[in-house]
Amino acid sequence: TPKTVGLNNNSIRFDLSCDDLLCLNEGEFLNDNIIDFYLQYIYYKKLSDEDRKRTYLFNSFFYTRLTRKGNDDVLNTSAAERRYNRVKRWLRDVDIFSKDYLILPINQTAH
């Protein structure tokens, strides 16, 4: 059963399952949920308001989606256009060019 973990004073909520927590054991690889939880913790609890305004934190699934190969390949579009189309919803509410820091977690199998 997933357990909801919140960061106090923020509207951020995470559903962490027992499997998510088990990946914290020695010798295990961290999963996307744990990585996202910890990065959000740092972002909301450790960064100042000023630093948060200067920083954009991508979700750990962003890179996976950006680099995914699949059936979304449309003829007559460049590789850059296909990649952008895969992630444009993540970018619609933020001007990443106005940020000083972009944090892009990359979680790949067995790296």
Does residue 111 sit within a domain?
no
pLDDT tens, 28-57? 999 998 999 899 989 988 999 999 999 999
Structural domain count, the chain = 1
Report percent pLDDT > 90 for the chain.
38
Does residue 108 sit within a domain?
no
pLDDT of 48 reads 95
Over the chain, what is the mean pLDDT?
Answer: 84
Does residue 99 sit within a domain?
yes
Please choose, from the candidates 61, 37, 39, 63, the residue with its C-alpha nearest in 3D space to the C-alpha of residue 52. 39
Does residue 110 sit within a domain?
no
Q: pLDDT grade, residue 8 (50/70/90)? A: low
